[in-house]
């Protein structure tokens, strides 16, 4: 029997790379757009559901994320599928360090509390759920990821944009790597617990380390420019995205990494794409 996976939000960042990775691994891939169709019907016969649904630009998380969660749990219960979710780091709050599945949640933002409650719903649902937790996305397709939209927004002018201190480390995730790990975990789901919280370390980078790598690759001297947070402050009363970004500003000031211990235990042969290759892939052009 063919291995079948349902990718939710297949046109988004997680969805596109998940489709490619599962197809390459020989799975039969179905895709689902929340605007059309019945998710439970779409999930029938599927072994795995990858939840790539996420409201763009943080829009109306308080209502939309619980609604998506209810739909996905219902579809997984009806089909018996395992759910895989791209977790984030919001619920860790502003206490820096190397975060793991054992780090107590300490959300300091509304979005952190929403995501924590979402994960708790999956844990209590009885549906097998794998949280593959990652930091900021790096997308070779440059589709609105943090690397392209923020750090490299002025790279063609020889500038790297600083959202916080240049030496503050951030957990960064190259999306094709996340998708490969997602497939590998899907294929060993029978050996996993009912609820798994698996950090995906990816690349831990400061803006200074990013600058050094990009200068090495391009052979060009680069400079830093500050992200205009003052514009977000002024625009916040009338611009939803500005308000939501302001709330998450603390993360750029919080030095952090994700532990790779659990993933290495489960997937000892897994290797991330080398940093220089990631940077080359994500540069414009």
Give the DSSP H or E segment for 181: helix 175-187
Percentage of the chain modeled with pLDDT above 90: 86
Q: How confident is the model at residue 251 (pLDDT cuts 50, 70, 90)?
A: very high
Indicate if the pLDDT at residue 158 is higher than 60. Answer: yes
Structure tokens at 208: 């200074």
Tokens 């750029």 locate to 252
Percentage of the chain modeled with pLDDT above 70: 99
Rounded CA gap, 107 and 111, in Å?
Answer: 8
On whether residue 14 sits in a domain, the answer given is: yes
Q: How confident is the model at residue 242 (pLDDT cuts 50, 70, 90)?
A: confident
On whether residue 54 sits in a domain, the answer given is: yes
- pLDDT, mean of residues 18-37: 92
Indicate if the pLDDT at residue 57 is higher than 80. Answer: no
Question: Quick check: helix, strand or coil at residue 19?
Answer: helix
Rounded CA gap, 174 and 139, in Å?
Answer: 6
Does the pTM of the predicted model rise above 0.75? yes
- pLDDT, mean of residues 238-245: 86
Domain containing 216: what range? Answer: 4-277
Indicate if the pLDDT at residue 280 is higher than 80. Answer: yes
On whether residue 173 sits in a domain, the answer given is: yes
Q: Buried b / exposed e across 152-181, counting CB within 10 Å, b at 16+?
A: beebeeebbbbbbeeebbbbbbbbbbbbbb
On whether residue 19 sits in a domain, the answer given is: yes
Digit-coded pLDDT (tens) for 1-15: 479 999 999 999 999
Tokens 């169709």 locate to 37
On whether residue 283 sits in a domain, the answer given is: no
For residue 27, the domain's CATH number is 3.40.50.720
Rounded CA gap, 206 and 253, in Å?
Answer: 11
Q: How confident is the model at residue 241 (pLDDT cuts 50, 70, 90)?
A: confident
pLDDT of residue 238: 87
On whether residue 57 sits in a domain, the answer given is: yes
Q: How confident is the model at residue 56 (pLDDT cuts 50, 70, 90)?
A: confident
On whether residue 183 sits in a domain, the answer given is: yes
Indicate if the pLDDT at residue 38 is higher than 70. Answer: yes
pLDDT of residue 186: 98
Which range among 2-6, 147-151, 189-193 has the greatest average pLDDT? 189-193
Domain count, the chain: 1
Task: Name residue 4's beta-bridge partners.
Answer: 28
Rounded CA gap, 19 and 10, in Å?
Answer: 7
Who contacts 137 (Cβ-Cβ below 8 Å, separation ≥6)? 13, 145, 146, 147, 172, 173, 175
On whether residue 31 sits in a domain, the answer given is: yes
Cβ contact 175:138 at 8 Å: yes
Structure tokens at 14: 């997680």
Q: How confident is the model at residue 278 (pLDDT cuts 50, 70, 90)?
A: very high
pLDDT of residue 58: 78
> Closest Cα partner for 129 from 58, 75, 61?
75
Indicate if the pLDDT at residue 120 is higher than 70. Answer: yes
Averaged confidence pLDDT in the chain: 95
């Amino acid at each position: 029997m063919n291995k079948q996976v349902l990718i939710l939000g297949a046109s988004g960042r997680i969805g596109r790379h998940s489709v490619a990775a599962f197809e390459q691994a020989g799975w039969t891939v179905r895709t689902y757009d929340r605007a059309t169709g019945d998710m439970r019907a779409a999930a029938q016969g599927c072994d795995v559901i990858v939840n790539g649904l996420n409201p763009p630009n943080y829009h109306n998380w308080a209502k939309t994320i619980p609604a998506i969660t209810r739909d996905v749990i219902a579809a997984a219960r009806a089909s018996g599928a395992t759910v895989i979710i791209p977790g984030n780091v919001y619920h860790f709050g502003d206490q820096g360090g190397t975060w793991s599945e054992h780090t107590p949640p300490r959300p300091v933002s509304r979005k952190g509390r929403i995501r924590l409650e979402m994960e708790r719903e999956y844990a209590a649902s009885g549906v097998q759920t794998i949280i593959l937790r990652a930091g900021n996305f790096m997308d070779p397709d440059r589709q609105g990821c943090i690397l392209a939209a923020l750090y490299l927004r002025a790279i063609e002018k020889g500038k790297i944009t600083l959202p916080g201190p240049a030496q503050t480390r951030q957990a960064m995730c190259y999306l094709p790597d996340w998708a490969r790990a997602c497939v590998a975990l899907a294929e060993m789901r029978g050996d996993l617990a009912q609820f798994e919280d698996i950090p995906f370390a990816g690349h831990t980078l400061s803006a200074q380390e990013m600058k050094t790598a990009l200068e090495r690759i391009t052979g060009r001297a680069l400079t830093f420019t500050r992200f205009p947070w003052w514009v977000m402050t002024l625009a916040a009363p009338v611009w939803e995205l500005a308000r939501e970004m302001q709330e998450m500003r603390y993360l750029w000031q919080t030095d952090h990494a994700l532990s790779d211990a659990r993933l290495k235990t489960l997937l000892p042969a897994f290797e991330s794409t080398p940093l220089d290759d990631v940077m080359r892939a994500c540069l414009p052009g």
